[in-house]
Structure 1
Amino acid sequence: MALNFFDPKTELTKDKNLREDDIKTLIDWVNKQAHLPKINEVQAILFLQSCNYRNEAAKSAIDSYFTVKTFCADLFGGRNPLQSPLRESLNVALFAFLPKKTPQGDTIIFMKLMDSNPDNYNFSVQLKHFDMVCMLGLHQEGVSNGHIIVLDMKEVVFGHLTKLGPLAMKKFLYYLQEAMPLRLKGLHYFNIVPFMDKILALMRPFMKKELLDMLYLHNTVDDLVKFVPRECLPLDYGGSVESTHVIHEKTKNKLRENCAFFDWEDKQVVDESQRAGKPKNVSDIFGVEGTFKKLELDIKKKMSLNLADVKCEYSKNPTLKQEDVKSLMEWVNKQPHLPKINELQAILFLQSCYNRNEAAKAAIDTFFTVKTLCSDLFGGRNPLTSPNKDTMNVSLMTPLPRETPEGHCIFLFKLIDTNPDKYIFGDQLRCFDMMIMRHLHQCGTSNGHLILFDMKGVVFGHVTKLGPLNMKKFLYYLQEAMPVRLKGLHFFNIVPFMDKILALMKPFMKKEMIDMLYLHNTVDDLVKQVPRDCLPQEYGGSAESMTILHEKMKRTLCENSAFFEWEDGQKVDESLRPGKPKNVGDYFGVEGTFKKLELD
């Protein structure tokens, strides 16, 4: 049976960067390595092109490719699709090269569970299945400008998570990043599940920064198609490609028809006894299997809070004294009603209060008390479940990567979905706070903070969703408790009914906040006070586009569900407060007192 490879001459014709002498040099080198199997022109082209025509990188990839495949027979050996366990595994999941490339010439590698029963899911066998689809596609269809992996999580349940082994994960992610002849351009998960953080906790220790930077999480297919053209997707997702069921059947048949290819692949192994120098073994690449036991039993530990380094905070804040921080921590930890705080939290509050210890004490007490009493705004902070998951699609809330020359951090807010029916004010405030608190705890202090609101998509229907009690609660929290050094509150692209919004805000704003409130008709007015180059591309700035910032922030929040779970656990116990316990009425009055304001 013929192996049916792509035509090397065709590849040389269509790829002007591919040179025949580079291919010959690579083949000659490989075929002189006593421990490596012989390779053909097709294989040389795949590795050379995937390594951006760098011969030395291609040599390293080829050695890693055959070495890993030889050592990891559990993942890469026994590739007969007509025999168990592969025969059954083909029915469990769809892995396919979609027929339509993106406008950039990237091939989409699509994944989806077809059988949602976790009892039928074998992680190692599915990794083998995925590699078989990829290697057959590469050898028969030839190279692409890039490859985008798209994973639909819709049918994934928690039972699948329990099947993911960290050693198999490490092996495959090493192979994907160091050996597989793909030009990976993106790794997109969509229809993400509430336990996505657990999956990422298992993956991230084995991912290089380059792979992490191309990882995207999308709640829905509508989020995905901002990055991957819908027309390239199957019919099920509104695309122009055949349905997933048709593609699945075609892919299974193609694998079954190419047993000879997989038999040929199985025979391409290294002979370590012939390697120049010291022979390698599996522990040289992946460590000892036993070292993964603790990781497997303690996934949650991998979900570290990733807090800012306190040593860096002392370095960048010369007026911050370690004895003041220690004194503040000791005071807090002696208050029976307050939760324990760590050194970073003490630094955040002390620095935001300009190193005034008594002011920091008051802010900390107010912070935890308001967050506990106002659980409607500050509780339930899991970014992977509704309503937070849906709220993140409605608006962009993000710190911008570049600070102002004064060292001020900029937080940008803008509606992405302008339908007021999808706008829930309390949920937006919660997510806004989540974004800021995550940033403060992981990026540390700044000289000041600016909040920018782009009003462009705001309609009057949004105003009707603004509740005065929630407005009072959040503005009180922002002014009295949140550990930020607020330097400016800028609204731009303001709307004709801005006076109505201000009428709702101003009764709850101190003079200091009103004095830092600015209204700008356009972005050109805004940049008279906020440097344009700090802003996203859409405003003429040097920061990434808002689409990319939005996706990155959603991913960041989703990856940090452990942080928000930790935050949710930090509550006051009013039964232990010295003196009279406090309640929400002590801070915000009786809710009924807002009825007239709401109607008027």
Structure 2
Amino acid sequence: MLVRPLSPALAEKARIELSEDPKRLEENIRHLKQWISKQPHLRARTDEQWLAAFLRGCKHRLEHTKAKIDLYYSFRSKAPYLYSIKYNEPKFMDIMNLGAVLILPKTHKPADPRVILYRIGQYDTKEYSAIEVMAVLGLLEQICFMEDDNLVVSGTVNVIDLAGTRWTHFTQTPIRQLKNLIQANQDAMPIRIKSVHFLNAPLVFSTFFNICKRFLSEKTKSRIMVHSKSNEALHQFVPKEILPQEYGGTGDSIQQSIAYWKEKVRKYNSFLEEDLKYGCDESKRPAKTQQITTVEEPFRRLELFYDVYKEGNLWKLLPRFNHLKATEFYRPISMIRELNPKLAEIAKKELNENPTHVENDLRHLKEWLAKQLHLKARTDDQWLIAILRGCKFSLERAKTKLDLFYTLRTTAPEVTLRLKPTEAEFMDFLRLGTCVILRQPKDALHPCVILIRAGEYDPQKHNVADIMCALYYLVQILVIENDTATVMGTMIVVDYEKVTLSHLTQASPSLLKKLVAVSQDSLPLRLKGSHHVNVPAGIEIIFKLVSGFLGEKARKRLRIYKSNEELLKNLPKEVIPVEYGGSGGTISELIDYWANKIQEYKPWLEEEMQFGTDESKRITKVKNNSNQGSFRKLDID
């Protein structure tokens, strides 16, 4: 029998995990060859090493193996676009050179799974497609079936880096092709997927994944993890010794891995050429093979879901699916970055965060939102977890905050919609530097700092509400991206340099109440204190008046400084901008950073502009706290 003997470590793993018996392996291969010869519709490879790969991928269950072999070749006729890239075409080598998908050549231990690295953002969607990239991977995997015992016996660990991905990476593949792509790789390939790790997931990924997971098996879904942008989290699951240097590892570089596979493909040219003749002739099939499909009605709903998602109008779906349970769209997998151990401990102690309860809390909020006819609300997991953390995981407080957040979009547009982040006027105001969120040192356990420079705008052209409107959208991006902000909260630094009487008189009592409602009551952040610097003479009286409405905790956390030097004594120097004596970058650099962020999030913000409330559909009238009393008592957590 021409099957390569396994190493001792892999042989033991095959015996324990795959129920492999070397004597039975030979008998099963002979049985498969006889079965294939009797299938008139199949033109299938019968190399013994090839058939051994399918047997091991099916844990030596013969009927399961037959079904997988049939499905593997059936996809070549059912979905030929999945195999559109041939090994001898220039496009194949172009994709190889990009390093968009690589099977890492080394393992750390003799019986470790094989690691496959996907770098989705490396290819230009105008030139290549996800289907073509996966076709390249499919050809590399064929080589592995013949010579890689680690992949065949121990399975694969899939690391999917989404850095650099754009909206088109997630919307270029029609949903029926997406369905076939997932099923061809999950159900037809003789590979056991041991785990899937997503890195650098952008905001649109959560919505996209809600579509994809409908085609995933429960076992696959249970093995998916979404990591923070730090490579350290990945290193807990994938040894640094095999990861490329670009991912903080000590293994071969990306370019070395590319060179390895280009040479491997060259050696397997004749094998890959021969493989082109294999496939399936459905006209000769004696009886239809039962293939893995999804239920048609949910699938039709998904097609509609996907079409609207591509247009950025996801909220339009809600009225059409009010009769459905939220769980029909949202499975138990939560697309949330995991907190680093220190933040997780703080979240547990200060916010009552319990990882075992998070999925149920998210599901509860989504089900509640689905029943609120007046609400058109974002339901991304990362957004909802920010709301929950801002409310210390009180579900009722989270519901109130969500309702108020979107209600103010409708009832206080002079604040929330005064400047639209998708329009040039917003960017012009942002570049004045009236408000920026300062840099957060890596792994710093300190509240995120927001700097307001109220004197930087011309009161003849702009209003103080413009500052709140700009912050309103910057903070939304912040809580989606920055776990430290959602756990540790924020501090505000207000610089009054250049502030004139014209600036101060813009804040009428009615406007001030709405500013407070938006900033304090609706945004999912805990305000840990405020610091005021370069305060002009006479404004202390206003502070004394306002402090009468503050709670004891808030009064203790309000600080007024006479100089930047005093400010530096109370805040980390590495956070404070250079202009204030710190080392946290220049104001200009911070402005550029956030201007680029706004551009990066443009599709997300365009979608965000569609959310709000339809007050005519509200079942019970909401009490607007912003209209009660001359000042609402400020309560800083």
| TM category, shorter | 0.5 to 0.7
Native 8 Å contact 2:516 2:626 kept in 1:
no
Compared with structure 1, are the counterparts of its residues 381 and 64 closer, same or farther at alpha carbon in structure 2 (3 Å cutoff)? Answer: farther
Distance in 2 (CA, whole Å) between partners of 1:25 and 1:302 is: 54
Instruction: Tell me what 1:239 maps to.
Output: 249
Compared with structure 1, are the counterparts of its residues 78 and 26 closer, same or farther at alpha carbon in structure 2 (3 Å cutoff)? Answer: farther
Deviation at residue 258 of structure 1 after TM alignment: 1.4
Distance in 1 (CA, whole Å) between partners of 2:75 and 2:255 is: 33
Instruction: Tell me what 1:249 maps to.
Output: 259
Distance in 2 (CA, whole Å) between partners of 1:119 and 1:183 is: 32
- For residue 504 of structure 1, the aligned residue among 546, 553, 568 is 553
Compared with structure 1, are the counterparts of its residues 60 and 471 closer, same or farther at alpha carbon in structure 2 (3 Å cutoff)? Answer: farther
Distance in 2 (CA, whole Å) between partners of 1:78 and 1:366 is: 48
Deviation at residue 572 of structure 1 after TM alignment: 7.0
1:258 is the counterpart of 2:263: no
For 1:530-541, list aligned pairs within 5 A: none
Native 8 Å contact 1:93 1:114 kept in 2:
no
For 1:400-411, list aligned pairs within 5 A: none
Instruction: Tell me what 1:156 maps to.
Output: 165
Deviation at residue 46 of structure 1 after TM alignment: 1.8
Compared with structure 1, are the counterparts of its residues 226 and 176 closer, same or farther at alpha carbon in structure 2 (3 Å cutoff)? Answer: same
1:110 is the counterpart of 2:153: no
Instruction: Tell me what 2:28 maps to.
Output: 26
Structure 1: which amino acid aligns with 2:263? N
Native 8 Å contact 1:102 1:232 kept in 2:
yes
Instruction: Tell me what 1:321 maps to.
Output: none
1:16 is the counterpart of 2:15: yes
Compared with structure 1, are the counterparts of its residues 309 and 68 closer, same or farther at alpha carbon in structure 2 (3 Å cutoff)? Answer: closer
Instruction: Tell me what 1:165 maps to.
Output: 174
Deviations along 1:523-544, one digit per CA (max 9) or x if unpaired, are xxxxxxxxxxxxxxxxxxxxxx
Deviations along 1:272-295, one digit per CA (max 9) or x if unpaired, are 455443478x9989989x989867
- Secondary structure at the counterpart of residue 280 of structure 2: coil
For 1:207-222, list aligned pairs within 5 A: 207-222=216-231
Instruction: Tell me what 2:105 maps to.
Output: 99
Structure 1: gaps (5+ residues): 313-324, 334-338, 342-351, 354-359, 383-390, 395-415, 436-456, 483-500, 509-557
1:270 is the counterpart of 2:267: no
Structure 2: which amino acid aligns with 1:589? F
Deviation at residue 233 of structure 1 after TM alignment: 1.4
Deviations along 1:181-226, one digit per CA (max 9) or x if unpaired, are 1110222221223432454355234223333333333341434334
Compared with structure 1, are the counterparts of its residues 101 and 380 closer, same or farther at alpha carbon in structure 2 (3 Å cutoff)? Answer: farther
Distance in 1 (CA, whole Å) between partners of 2:216 and 2:477 is: 29
1:206 is the counterpart of 2:206: no
Distance in 2 (CA, whole Å) between partners of 1:53 and 1:470 is: 67
Distance in 2 (CA, whole Å) between partners of 1:170 and 1:237 is: 30
Distance in 1 (CA, whole Å) between partners of 2:157 and 2:67 is: 23
Native 8 Å contact 1:147 1:182 kept in 2:
yes
Structure 2: which amino acid aligns with 1:155? G
Distance in 2 (CA, whole Å) between partners of 1:168 and 1:118 is: 16
1:180 is the counterpart of 2:219: no
Instruction: Tell me what 1:83 maps to.
Output: 89
Distance in 1 (CA, whole Å) between partners of 2:203 and 2:326 is: 34
RMSD of aligned residue pairs (Cα, Å): 6.2
Instruction: Tell me what 1:546 maps to.
Output: none
Instruction: Tell me what 2:454 maps to.
Output: none
Distance in 2 (CA, whole Å) between partners of 1:433 and 1:587 is: 31
- For residue 445 of structure 2, the aligned residue among 398, 416, 419 is 419
Structure 2: which amino acid aligns with 1:88? D
Distance in 1 (CA, whole Å) between partners of 2:92 and 2:29 is: 32
Instruction: Tell me what 2:569 maps to.
Output: none
Instruction: Tell me what 1:228 maps to.
Output: 238
Deviations along 1:385-417, one digit per CA (max 9) or x if unpaired, are xxxxxx9xx9xxxxxxxxxxxxxxxxxxxxx95
Deviations along 1:397-446, one digit per CA (max 9) or x if unpaired, are xxxxxxxxxxxxxxxxxxx955216577999x9889999xxxxxxxxxxx
- For residue 126 of structure 1, the aligned residue among 118, 124, 133 is 133
Structure 1: which amino acid aligns with 2:407? F
Structure 1: which amino acid aligns with 2:114? T
- Secondary structure at the counterpart of residue 101 of structure 1: coil
Compared with structure 1, are the counterparts of its residues 6 and 130 closer, same or farther at alpha carbon in structure 2 (3 Å cutoff)? Answer: farther
Native 8 Å contact 1:152 1:190 kept in 2:
yes
Structure 2: which amino acid aligns with 1:51? C
Native 8 Å contact 1:189 1:218 kept in 2:
yes
Native 8 Å contact 1:233 1:240 kept in 2:
yes
- Secondary structure at the counterpart of residue 109 of structure 1: strand
Distance in 2 (CA, whole Å) between partners of 1:69 and 1:133 is: 16
Structure 1: which amino acid aligns with 2:258? H
Structure 1: which amino acid aligns with 2:29? I
- Secondary structure at the counterpart of residue 157 of structure 2: strand
Compared with structure 1, are the counterparts of its residues 121 and 210 closer, same or farther at alpha carbon in structure 2 (3 Å cutoff)? Answer: same
Deviation at residue 112 of structure 1 after TM alignment: 1.9
Structure 2: gaps (5+ residues): 328-367, 378-394, 423-436, 452-470, 481-486, 495-512, 525-549, 558-600
Compared with structure 1, are the counterparts of its residues 308 and 110 closer, same or farther at alpha carbon in structure 2 (3 Å cutoff)? Answer: farther
- Tell me the TM-score normalised to structure 1 length: 0.54
Structure 2: which amino acid aligns with 1:270? C
- Secondary structure at the counterpart of residue 195 of structure 1: helix
Distance in 2 (CA, whole Å) between partners of 1:26 and 1:160 is: 42
Native 8 Å contact 2:450 2:490 kept in 1:
no
- Tell me the TM-score normalised to structure 2 length: 0.51
Distance in 1 (CA, whole Å) between partners of 2:241 and 2:515 is: 43
Deviation at residue 70 of structure 1 after TM alignment: 4.1
- Secondary structure at the counterpart of residue 150 of structure 2: coil
For 1:269-418, list aligned pairs within 5 A: 269-272=279-282, 274-278=284-288, 297-300=307-310, 368-369=407-408, 417=443
Native 8 Å contact 1:121 1:163 kept in 2:
no
Deviation at residue 464 of structure 1 after TM alignment: 6.4
Native 8 Å contact 2:517 2:626 kept in 1:
no
